[in-house]
Structures are given as structure tokens and as C-alpha cells.
A and B are shown apart, each in its own frame.
Chain A
């Protein structure tokens, strides 16, 4: 199952995302922001980083890259698209997801292992979870405060499109502790925390069982892979 990972100028976690796809059982395909070619992939990850140095607004310039024309088309056709951190910011800037992300409430960059509650298992990137399940994956951002107008937030909540919620601690002042959301169809998901950093024992967050053994991020990638196989 081939999943594309787009590299933009300033992407940092594109290789980690590719590695996560491989560990989840898929085949990562490197895609380039300046191309108009998705190379026939069956899913797309927009990785984290600081594309264009966060100039203008985080993700704003990358969201208008050549390849984003194809990404938007593919998303509208129902292809699974995941935006992680800077990728989430791009998805809002490309209007594939509602709302926006602003500087953290306390003004500082936050890096921590973050507990999340999986609020919906009906998206293409969360189908391998049980609703209400608690997971721990790393979070690292300076502009992760999710905001949207009251009407949009009510619609996201009402339609079950809040995919992940911060649990115990809201690191960036996101409205209603929202960590990740989905589009109406459930194929496009964006989240600020980094599932690709919790995919391999020895390199993930600490768990009660052992240090750095957390691999909760793996199932996000498995969800899409299993969904594509089942389709």
C-alpha cells in the first residue's frame, strides 16, 4: 500500500513519517512540493516542520505549492490525507479543514509527551482505535492553538468531527481542548501532536511497562492502510 509523504522546503519530519508508514506495513513514497504528480499513491501525509520558516503564517505558503492542487483534488475524491502539525496548518490554509492555528496561548514552544483521547473512530485515520481510548504521543509546536468561530466548533462537535482531544493538560490553549479534527467525509484528518514519533519501541514516549516503549502513533497509520485494503 503506497502512501505519499510530501516534502516542502523546511519540512522536518518527512523521513520520520515515511518510516512510520513502513513500520505500519505500508510503502512510503517521497513526493515533492514543486511537482504536479502524486505518483499514484493511495494516501498522503503532509508532515511536520517549519515550511518556509513559518513566514506569512504557518503553512500558508506551502498550502499554495504546486502539488497542493493535486492534494486538494485527491482529498475531494476521498483519498486519505493526514496533516501532522505543520501539515495540519497547511490543511486549514488550503481550506480542506475548517478553523485555524495560532500561537500558543502562553507564547512558548511546547514539547512533551501528550495524552490524547481518541474521540472518533469513524475517520480513515482513527478506525483502528476504540472511541474514548487514551493514547500518548509526542507534541512539539509553537503555533498549535486551534481556533474556529462558535458555529464551526459546534458543527465539529455535533458531527463527531473532533478526532483527538487533549487530556489532562491543554498545551496551547486550543478551543475545547481540540488536538485534531476531520473533514465531513472523514478522509482528511489534521492533528498537532506527532504520531510518527511513537511508532517504534525504544524511541517512543515512556509507558508504565517500559521507558520509551510507547507506539500509540502506529495505529493512526494502520487505520489508513487497513481502510485502503478493505476498500
Chain B
């Protein structure tokens, strides 16, 4: 069954305390080349049936209305991941 992957990230201009904490840990562990870390969310929606434009439209709607909150986050990617590709 195909899977649709939706990626959501905190807005670039907002402080991401989780990312900041991980960046701090990396620096302590000696990985000093990374100047920043941001943490987002990945949703995998398994589709019962084929993925057509109607399904993708529905996912765009869900991504905007439920999976993300446009005040604090951006949907940065919606893509179909076929089973063979996994």
C-alpha cells in the first residue's frame, strides 16, 4: 500500500528549544561543525488504495488543517512513497 509522507517544521523565525538542546548536546560531544539543529515532524499516512489527485488534495487539506498549525508551523513537504522505495 502506498504511503504519503507529510513533513512539518516549526516556523523558521521561531525559537525551537528542542533543536537548541540537541545542538548544545552535539557541541558537548565534540561535533562542532553543526551550527544549528531544528526538529520537525514526519507523518506517514498509509493509503488504502491508489493515490490519485483527489487523495493528494485531501492530504493537503489535512496537512493544513490538522497536522500543522499555521501560526507556529509550516508544511514543508508532501510526497508519495511507493512500497518498493522503502
Contact = CB atoms under 8 A, between A and B. Distances in A.
Interface of A: 56-57, 60, 64, 92-93, 98-100, 102-107, 147-149, 173
Given A60-B66, A64-B66, A104 B71 contact: no
Interface in B6-42: 10, 14-15, 17-18, 20-21
A124 B69 CA distance: 28
Contact of A100 (B21, B67, B72): B72
Nearest to B70: A100
B21 A102 contact: no
Given A107-B20, A107-B21, A57 B69 contact: yes
Given A100-B69, A106-B17, 17 more contacts: A56-B66, A60-B66, A60-B69, A64-B66, A98-B71, A99-B71, A100-B71, A100-B72, A102-B10, A102-B15, A102-B72, A104-B17, A107-B17, A107-B18, A147-B14, A148-B71, A149-B71
Interface of B: 10, 14-15, 17-18, 20-21, 66-67, 69, 71-72
Contacts of A149: 71
14 contacts: A57-B69, A60-B66, A93-B69, A98-B71, A99-B71, A100-B69, A102-B72, A105-B15, A106-B17, A107-B20, A107-B21, A147-B72, A149-B71, A173-B15
